[in-house]
Amino acid sequence: MRGRPIVLRTFDIGGDKFASSFRLPEELNPMLGLRAVRLALTREDTFKEQLRAMVRAAALGDVRIMIPMVTSLTELRQVRVLLERATAEVRARGIDVPDVPLGVMIEVPSAAIMVDRFAKEAAFLSLGTNDLVQYALAVDRGNRTLAYLASCFDPAIVRLIAQVVRAGATHLRAVSVCGAMASDPIAAVLLVGLGVRELSMEAAAIPTVREGLRRVTLEEAEALATFALDADTAEDVERALAERLAPRLMDILIGEVAEV
């Protein structure tokens, strides 16, 4: 990465993500069960092994660690203690490593509601919009019948995102967005209007999102965000974004711009 920062997410196993090395209990609702950081904290030896590997990597570059599915400050503090122990163990082996910044994913409503407190203790924040939509709107993202309800343009989601961005700005914490929302050129414009300045997406989406953002001024994006924050429904937000952006972004939306 030639000196650029690298964010390593601790294992996000459970729910709809599986690993052969973990034997998980059967659960009636695994998306609300033993997964991500909850699972990590029950497998302390395995978790600390991963943390040590991440800390060792920090000797070679700008590494940061991010915790998924955090629901409370207690979990953040527990992971910090384990990270401090892992760092001490790596240093005890004679490896010179810095203190690694520890951030959190904001992807459940409880974390979004308490984000002002998280922003005081976490080094950075990352909005996981896929799960945030699922949990905030009580819609199983794998249920095709209910897919029409799982909209990242729902005003409730827009307001939660704005709240996280404000907390980040207040406490000088970087706020990024990770998820399908960041890969959508129209949604990316809304995110920038809300104050997001870091978007994480699959590499294939970068050219179209970058080109889409080039075609819209910051003032226009902020005006759209202001409208979205005051809207009543996801349909209202989607209609306004389509009316104002689709004419300018039509070619990239239909895939005519392959590279920029």
**pLDDT of 147:** 83
**Structure confidence by residue, pLDDT tens digits, 63-122:** 999 999 999 999 999 999 999 999 999 999 999 999 999 999 999 999 999 999 999 999
**Structure confidence by residue, pLDDT tens digits, 13-67:** 655 555 556 666 665 676 777 778 998 999 899 999 999 999 999 999 999 999 9
What average pLDDT score do residues 205-229 get? 96
Q: How confident is the model at residue 250 (pLDDT cuts 50, 70, 90)?
A: confident
Count the Cβ atoms, other than its own, within 10 Å of residue 62: 14
- CATH fold group of domain 112-260: TIM Barrel (3.20.20)
Please give the model's pTM, rounded to 2 decimal places.
0.89
**pLDDT of 3:** 84
For the chain, the farthest-separated pair of C-alpha atoms sits apart, in whole angstroms, at: 60
Domain residue extents for the chain: 1-100, 112-260
Burial class of residue 3 (count of CB atoms within 10 Å of its CB; 0-12, 13-18, 19+): exposed
**pLDDT of 257:** 47
What average pLDDT score do residues 8-15 get? 80
Instruction: Identify which of 136-150, 211-225, 246-260 has the greatest average pLDDT.
Output: 211-225
Higher confidence at residue 3 or residue 181? 181
Written as one string, the DSSP assignment of 213-237 is: HHTS-HHHHHHHHHHHHH-SSHHHH
**Structure confidence by residue, pLDDT tens digits, 220-249:** 999 999 999 999 999 999 999 999 998 889
Residue reference for tokens 């979205």: 228
